[in-house]
Amino acid sequence: MSSSMTTSVVQAEAETGSHQFKILGYSLTKGIGIQKCIFSDVFTIGGYKWVIKFYPDGYVTENKDFISFYLVLKSDVTDVKAQYGFTILQQNGVPSDIRFKSSPVVFMGTIGACYKAWGCRQFVKRSEFEESECLKDDAFTVECTVTVVTNLQTTTPHSVTVPPSNLNQHLVRLLESEDGADVTFVVKGESFKAHRCVLAARSAVFRAELFGCMREKWTDTITINDIEAPVFKSMLCFIYSDSVPGFEGNNNDDGNDGQSQELRLMAQHLLVAADRYDLDRLKLMCEDLLCKNLDVSTVASTLILAEERNCKQLKAACRRFMSSPVVFKAVAQTDGFYLLLKSFPSILKDI
């Protein structure tokens, strides 16, 4: 009689990140009502988007004497396993003893609405928090730490750990080295060498221009006059790497207005280029950055761009931004609003 035994191993991988949510004017947040919350900006950890919900008057009536914090999964996915925690920071940035850490839970995104948010109803008693040194000058900071289980892989004892794909890094090096480049674009006096096959694989428009019946098929040098050189360079970077430097995680919270303005302008020009060359993901990335950087001075011009390029999500975001009577009054005094009415006179009925 013979017998045998086999084994397998489950290797769990996780990614941890944190987001600091600063509440200024804490006393003004009180009294908004039980089950009423204040949202943080959206942040990304483990490849998923999250947001913090702060309930200054408590999550439910039974906990009306407590401050509540919840973590919400914003990505439209299901079954994201994560562990999370909330910590009130002292004024010097050191974690205080006012903290909560969960056991691993499963977030079910927008499909499972009941379980897309997890949190702590009795995070801290309001009276105790207000007497602590963590609240100073009517302000405090809560740090949310999230550990996302990114991979559950079953292996045998003799298996090999395979690293994540780095194809984009190789393609970027190919672009930078210009090895094997077979087409040159002259854009406002600057030359950019590229590879026809890569461009055609990424863009149906480039495929038609470089391998179809258009005249560009027969030339090694193509002149482009209606795109600025830095914009074309960023578009090439996206085509080879599937990303744009500076775009990831930008939400206008770093205090650098000059940098935010440059990114906003780049996003506007890149959106036009992405629309022209049928780069849908790049177009959505530009929409996302513009949505996160709306303000009174730019929302009207952004809405013009959204209307011209049929960006439905960006249009909706601009309209929501202007839905407040106070904000709308301020926007109506800008030059961009005059151009908006001139370009799309029927826009008022949609706001």
pLDDT in tens, 199-241: 999 999 999 999 988 766 678 999 999 999 999 999 999 999 9
Residue 126 has pLDDT above 90, yes or no: yes
Please name which of 283, 186, 280 lies closest in space to residue 227, comparing C-alpha atoms: 186
Q: 166-246+258-278 architecture in CATH?
A: 2-Layer Sandwich (3.30)
At 111 the pLDDT is: 45
pLDDT value at 9 more than 90: no
pLDDT attached to residue 186: 97
In terms of DSSP H, where are the helices of 120-228? 126-131, 167-177, 196-202, 204-211
pLDDT of residue 150: 77
Q: What is the dihedral of CA 282, 41, 249, 166, to 10 degrees?
A: -90
pLDDT of residue 1: 55
Confidence band (pLDDT; 50, 70, 90) for 255?
very low
- Would you say domain 9-153 falls under CATH 3.20.130.10? no
- The confidence band for 331, taking pLDDT boundaries of 50, 70 and 90, is very high
215 vs 307, more confident: 307
The predicted structure's pLDDT at residue 3: 63
The confidence band for 249, taking pLDDT boundaries of 50, 70 and 90, is: low
Give yes or no on whether 9-153 and 166-246+258-278 have one common fold. no
Residues 266-300: tens digit of each pLDDT: 999 999 999 999 999 999 999 999 998 889 999 99
Q: How far apart are CA 20 and CA 122, in angstroms?
A: 20
Taking CA atoms, 73 is separated from 44, 63, 88, in Å, by 10, 23, 21
**Of 136 and 159, more confident:** 136
Q: How confident is the model at residue 113 (pLDDT cuts 50, 70, 90)?
A: very low
Beta strands in 2-47 (DSSP E): 9-24, 38-39, 43-45
Res 71: pLDDT? 95
- 116 SS3 class: coil
Coil, strand or helix at 309: coil
Site of tokens 């090895």? 179
Would the pLDDT of 247 be above 90? no
pLDDT for residue 70 is more than 80: yes
Residue type (1 letter), 115: Y
Mean pLDDT over 151-177 rounds to 79
What pLDDT digit, counting tens, does each position of 82-106 carry? 999 999 999 888 999 999 999 988 8
Whole-number pLDDT of residue 112: 42
Work out the mean pLDDT of the chain and round it to a whole number. 87
Q: Given this model, what pLDDT does residue 345 score?
A: 86
Domain ranges of the chain: 9-153, 166-246+258-278
Q: Would you state the pLDDT for residue 301?
A: 95
